[in-house]
Structure 1
């Protein structure tokens, strides 16, 4: 739209230049009337930019310009002799200019008008209806006029094309800049400005491939800011954030342009040094350590913040672990060895650089007294995690620290259920790959300060230190189980894995290291007896009640059978008309014991147990019945959006079930919008594209949900057959967070606005509508309207409503009087949800 607005201005500039020049030519030829008409038409064309500025309507300014241009050409052609006049060919310029100002549809309309004008110029004299007037003044030199007109036509058309091509190029430059902003935000850690973990690991993987091809060495350095948790607890998270930023800037000042540096997690940072042997890596790491020791970070509580006293200065130190890449090994193994070296650096007193013992380096930096210093004992060769021996050493150290600081240590023993059957079915090689993936999945669920290793064949141990409450350990265990609700991909096949988790806590009475391990094992066996994906915390008398998680998991089937599930609907509002055009169906569970259970608590459990498939069918059927009930009550037609889960998407009969529910409920396919998150879509891109194509061929709309939070790569977007892109609420909330702060001139001038605007522009370029989620403030709404967003939903318009609440909104905006009656009471929740407006 901006490009077309600029095209209107460019066209007016051409009229300002070319109009007087041609008027002068006609004046010199003695045709004063024609010259005056050209000047008058040019003046009207010059009114287009002010009209555009005052009205904000590109269409109004464009049509004013084209009408003046068209009138000018038709009048001149008629005045100079009709269809045989030298200006008749100029009628071609109207549709050409219309193409640049308004697109193909506009060009076709003006082409039709030009054809009608040409037919009139020929037909009126030919049938004797009306003859062109003879121009007054001297006899025209027609060959000269033909030459002038032909040259003018070529020059003007060329001028239009060049100016409009320039405008289009500038538009693409802006789009490229916006895409660069998106890419920059996708690869950067928002707090520190350095690379984020995902992008950094990708760089490491590419360097590994280059190293395997060319045998070039490279090293990894893992940094951990010493006592960072104490800084956070003492001075607050604001001071902690400032420490992270200062450290990142200090490292950037010491490394080379070819090095890759980023935030690995929490207070840990990873540095990749391409083409660097161990001795050089140790020298550079030591340089960073010294630079860090010289940093002084203000706590932010001084007089400048109104604290009334001088700000304290925080002194920083950093521990560093260095490991060299070994040709052919997974990059995760190299990182694990750097982590081992880092752990040893912290165990030996912190504020030091430590190299992994089996790498070549400077012998003086490798202490002989290191526990387990024999080569190869610190890293499990299959998974790259800590070995059994090093796990015992870390556990011993953690128990000693826990006895001193009175904080809890939790030992989680995780066992893969039915691994022997998986190994037998897929083969030993696939079984090894599954173990490696399972280990990395567990690692990703833990803090950077936690330890995880392979304990035995299909068992892993996670060691959690510095816990305040015993419930913290169970929360981490359940987070791991939630992660395993998603499949692992082994040999191109998806494999769902369940775990049994035993938890043992220390300090505890009569408990040493071996006793703690036995307790974790006993709890894990108790979890196995409870069923798949279960957690059991060790209790001496085993009188501990079943966890809430297990109660919810077991209650899901009863919830569906006993009508405990219900739907609420959040309205979606068209931003141009401010009318409700759709609703999103949201699943709710009213549990008889736990009350209203949040979807985030029970939907992962439904995924694990497979109950999400029948629950999803029920939700889809219920939403379709409710949509039909609204329409039967005389309310305006709207679309209903229903979310699809990962497990539903993998069901081979999903398409048939969706179409059967549409037939059964009588809901038009055009009113159903199926929402699928971007992460789920690209797990199996080809199969999902085929499914979405079939859904769209049946008339069903398909949306990408939570866009922008799953995958930073945007190349797949052009391949996905979808209709709607739902911008995640994260981007909308950032608009509000930055608005009015004065740090960047308000939201509209900030990066947050630029990113959201780029998403909207990109979606429109791809022919997609955009729905913004979580709109809560008028400032957010104003920004979304300014950037051209199509639809929005959020608390600013309405919270999720029962069916009757939606019906009331639709009735108010449509002027419909919905009476209580059988048709209005055809609620969708088993026929019990009323639709009537009271």
Structure 2
């Protein structure tokens, strides 16, 4: 097959033409998709007329119609002025009407001078309303239709009123009719094709942007593998298939050993290279039907459809060996790696999260046994054991089994021991924060166990402890963890709970099982329990605090009597800490003026000026000094203080904006962040508008920044809220765009004006326009512009990043490259210098 040369590629020439036409469209008009399309159509029409007009003038010249040829050329020159008028005035209406006036005059003059109603150009009078319809819509089309009808009537009726028409030219009129008719057909067709080209190109760019954003929604940008959310969706779908057809599937959870050490030794860039190298190595080992992705941090999850545990363990061992032999080269350094693997086979009817939890249990055992090994969660036992299909380091399986037993098991009950439980608990708490699901810790104490020991002896007591442990284990789910805490106490760890009440129901279920007597030799013993329950996530709670809370609740349960359950509520006083001091000091900080605002400038990249500022909350604590927002914003959310603090921020920022305006400084936009708690607070829109009235700030200058996730949590209610605010003139921004949901279905519904491109995308820029990161950011900008949204890039720190953003048409940016967050006085000085007509070097970004 012959290849089309680059110079003959229609797509290439179409792109060049559109790029050239786009030079006449001002940057302000490019921000709105509808305005940009109309502006491009005006340019298309003018360029087409400038191209076709001289050919028709030549035809008329050859037919000895010299005056008509000169008139056509003069009108073409006027039409050709439309793009410069558009470029320098920024007015689509002025450019369009200039073009249409010249077009209308051209064919009216020709018709009058070439024979009136019988003139070959009489039918050309239809071009003005047709073109006006494309360029300006219905109103413009109707206006020029009326004008064309009036012109046709005047050309026909004026001779009857005594106005002499110029004599008809002595040329072959039939030939002139043919030329004019053919020309009309061609011109109308070319007009339609040009307008269709503009529309199609816009849809093509939008489709590319949508495809890329869809890809971002399912891919981890660093490794190119599936991201966590999409991967978990695949696991859920495979679970449904497995439940229908009864075929097993397996999950393999990979963890790069000592990854933190790699980051600390070689740097985060090297750590990223190691993650990419490992992901690429795994993808080279798996089947097309397998699903592989990044689960979080240095953890990866592999789903193997229709694969039993033995086959999955063999594959996991092969991946482990490949990883061990892999050498990642980064900036002249060779970095080796090893990986620990946990394997679990899905059990019909269980939750997908339970299967992942069992793979996680196996992974933790593999790490506790020395790492760089594969561990399989045995399908016939409650706790993970060493995979039977692999002995990673060549050691004998019985020796490894004994090592596993000693590492994880209580010798009396066979349950996990205290040490491994803490590891499990720490990891469960991490998952709970990540997945926004509850973890419950149950501390179960056998009542009056000393009496049993004293009466029946220690051997009978040990037998009862063993039976008690087995009963608790049998009552809970396979994914739950049970351990002997010490003496007559057991701990149960319940993950992935939806409601706080679920933990109490499970505790009561355990108590019901202990209602039956237990036999020890010839004796029957009835045992009762006291159960303390502590839940996580919870305020001011780490691992040790969670254990302490469960112990407090258990002691309260013992005071209640036989078979009591108490859920920790926080009523018991806890030791004071810095976190608690900050939490308790929020109200005092608000009333005593410890809060203050700084403002980070936002720069318009096209006009190289400050176009807005973002208000940022700061806290100067009398004891702890300047407190980082990351340390107290979450506390304000927990306590509900974020609502009055948020109102204070908005009121203070609006007053400052009004003060800048009264000082004669230029009008700028003011961005203020809204929190999730504020969005849920009734009457938010009314309070915002009341503050605007109170402070005298213009609504169109206020920009409320909200993250994607917050908007989507209650989409219908939030859309109604945002529509109300936008109806009053307030702007709405999506903050941190690209790292939350980034769902195009949601994006098309959200009533917003601005996208703030997250720092994640900006930090990866700076390598020029050939990189993948540039392409992704450019598509986000293009998509936003097609949707009529502006784009502000966050955290711009390098000139190379700024150059890339300017090249892709990003509207504005903020970051340390321009200015750090500044006090109000320095912002005022910056705006004053900007308003000074004398040239100032500061706003320039070159």
The answer to whether the superposition gives a TM-score over 0.5 is yes
| Deviation at residue 602 of structure 1 after TM alignment | 1.4
Q: Which residue of 189, 213, 233 maps to 1:182? A: 213
Distance 1:563 1:637, change over 3 A: same
Q: Which residue of 615, 628, 648 maps to 1:585? A: 615
**Distance (whole Å) between structure 2 residues aligned to residue 320 and residue 275 of structure 1:** 19
Distance 1:649 1:324, change over 3 A: same
Q: Which residue of 774, 785, 792 maps to 2:813? A: 792
**Distance (whole Å) between structure 1 residues aligned to residue 127 and residue 573 of structure 2:** 76
Q: Which residue of 432, 438, 462 maps to 1:441? A: 432
Give 1:243's aligned residue.
274
Give 1:473's aligned residue.
none
Post-superposition CA distance 1:154-176 (Å, at most 9, x none): 33322332343244323322332
Give 2:4's aligned residue.
none
2:104 matched to 1:104? Answer: no
Give 1:283's aligned residue.
314
2:201 matched to 1:165? Answer: no
Distance 1:345 1:563, change over 3 A: closer
Indicate the SS of the match to 1:501. Answer: coil
Q: How does 1:78-93 map to 2 (within 5 A)?
A: 78-82=112-116, 85-93=119-127
Contact 1:503 1:520 in 2 (8 A): no
**Distance (whole Å) between structure 1 residues aligned to residue 76 and residue 389 of structure 2:** 86
> Unaligned regions of 5+ residues in structure 1, if any?
306-310, 379-386, 399-409, 414-435, 447-451, 464-483, 506-515, 537-544, 740-745, 817-838
Please tell me the root mean square deviation across aligned C-alpha atoms, in Å. Answer: 4.9
Indicate the SS of the match to 2:173. Answer: coil
**Distance (whole Å) between structure 2 residues aligned to residue 534 and residue 88 of structure 1:** 95
2:169 matched to 1:136? Answer: yes
Indicate the SS of the match to 1:175. Answer: helix
Distance 1:225 1:563, change over 3 A: closer
2:748 matched to 1:718? Answer: yes
Distance 1:529 1:687, change over 3 A: closer
| Deviation at residue 445 of structure 1 after TM alignment | 9.6
**Distance (whole Å) between structure 2 residues aligned to residue 531 and residue 499 of structure 1:** 11
Contact 1:724 1:768 in 2 (8 A): yes
Contact 2:82 2:99 in 1 (8 A): yes
Q: How does 1:398-477 map to 2 (within 5 A)?
A: 440-442=431-433, 454-456=441-443
Contact 1:411 1:520 in 2 (8 A): no
Distance 1:38 1:503, change over 3 A: closer
Q: Which residue of 55, 76, 80 maps to 2:110? A: 76
Distance 1:234 1:797, change over 3 A: closer
| Deviation at residue 274 of structure 1 after TM alignment | 2.1
Contact 1:777 1:796 in 2 (8 A): yes
Give 1:257's aligned residue.
288
Indicate the SS of the match to 1:623. Answer: helix
Question: How many pairs align?
Answer: 697
TM-score normalized by the length of structure 2: 0.70
Post-superposition CA distance 1:43-69 (Å, at most 9, x none): 8878999x8999999979988976765
2:765 matched to 1:701? Answer: no
Give 2:794's aligned residue.
773
Distance 1:354 1:498, change over 3 A: closer
**Distance (whole Å) between structure 1 residues aligned to residue 603 and residue 266 of structure 2:** 44
Structure with higher Rg: it is 2
Indicate the SS of the match to 1:673. Answer: strand
| Deviation at residue 194 of structure 1 after TM alignment | 1.9
**Distance (whole Å) between structure 1 residues aligned to residue 251 and residue 274 of structure 2:** 22
Post-superposition CA distance 1:350-388 (Å, at most 9, x none): 4443322116999655967758999xx99xxxxxxxx99
Identify the range of structure 1 (121-130 vs 243-252) with the bigger mean alpha-carbon deviation.
Answer: 121-130
> Unaligned regions of 5+ residues in structure 2, if any?
1-17, 23-39, 392-396, 446-475, 483-495, 503-534, 557-565, 838-846
Give 1:801's aligned residue.
822
2:260 matched to 1:223? Answer: no
Q: How does 1:25-104 map to 2 (within 5 A)?
A: 26=60, 31=65, 33-34=67-68, 38=72, 69-70=103-104, 72-82=106-116, 85-94=119-128, 96-97=130-131, 103-104=135-136
Distance 1:15 1:523, change over 3 A: same
**Distance (whole Å) between structure 2 residues aligned to residue 639 and residue 488 of structure 1:** 43
Identify the range of structure 1 (34-43 vs 643-652) with the bigger mean alpha-carbon deviation.
Answer: 34-43
**Distance (whole Å) between structure 2 residues aligned to residue 775 and residue 189 of structure 1:** 22
Contact 2:344 2:377 in 1 (8 A): yes
Contact 1:453 1:462 in 2 (8 A): no
**Distance (whole Å) between structure 2 residues aligned to residue 574 and residue 237 of structure 1:** 32
Give 2:541's aligned residue.
501
Distance 1:119 1:129, change over 3 A: farther
Contact 2:443 2:551 in 1 (8 A): no
**Distance (whole Å) between structure 1 residues aligned to residue 162 and residue 707 of structure 2:** 67
Distance 1:195 1:720, change over 3 A: same
| Deviation at residue 588 of structure 1 after TM alignment | 1.6
Give 2:416's aligned residue.
390
| Deviation at residue 4 of structure 1 after TM alignment | 5.5
| Deviation at residue 583 of structure 1 after TM alignment | 2.8
| Deviation at residue 608 of structure 1 after TM alignment | 1.0
